[in-house]
Amino acid sequence: MARSIELLLTENVENLGIVGDVVKVRLGYARNFLLPRELATEPSEELIKSLQAKRAEAEKLIAQQRAERASTIEKLSGYELHIERSCNDQGILYASVTQQEIASALNAAGFKNVRPRDVRLNEAIKRVDTYSIHVKFETELETNIKLWVMADRKLDLEEKEDMDFDMEGNLIEKS
């Protein structure tokens, strides 16, 4: 039995292809996702020719999206995003900052079409600090922004003097 099958895409499928592409996919993906949603069908010369107009329109739309993303990346270069979060006195956040929150903050700041999957975090953001965040739309469309995670209140970060205790747990006075 064949493990993969060739299908003609009747709609754009992200990370697979655009309308009119003949793609080779695993049998389960075809049977469980593409065919029930009518995103693909058996390829034939007549169908390929009938989808040419729809394919040209899809290519135009993709080129337009790429131009929009390129301008967004240009504007994002060197951008500094400020997020205020609640934390304890040591600057440790009660909840980490996620890709979703960063994407939402960027969209609210006027950078439309930034999706959570476009924000790449190389570490968990769990402290009040500055971070370099990688934003990548496509292979060549990427940039870094600076994220400032700030406390929602004034932190008490002054160094406290070490205390000494005796064996019974009593505080030893330093002279």
Query: Could you read off the pLDDT tens digit of each residue along the chain, which spans 175 residues?
Result: 678 999 999 998 888 988 888 999 999 999 999 999 999 999 888 888 888 888 899 899 989 988 988 888 888 888 999 999 999 888 889 999 999 999 999 999 988 888 999 999 988 899 999 999 999 988 788 899 999 999 888 876 555 556 677 777 777 776 5
Residue 44 and residue 8 in contact, taking contact as beta carbons nearer than 8 Å: yes
Measured distance CA(32)–CA(35) in Å, rounded: 7
Per DSSP, the three-state class of 119 is strand
Measured distance CA(85)–CA(93) in Å, rounded: 7
Per DSSP, the three-state class of 149 is strand
Q: What is the pLDDT of residue 29?
A: 93
- Phi then psi for residue 65, to 5 deg, are -60, -40
Q: What is the pLDDT of residue 82?
A: 93
CA dihedral sign of residues 121, 124, 126, 127: negative
10 Å CB burial of residue 74 (0-12, 13-18, 19+) is: exposed
Measured distance CA(147)–CA(129) in Å, rounded: 8
Residue 121 and residue 109 in contact, taking contact as beta carbons nearer than 8 Å: no
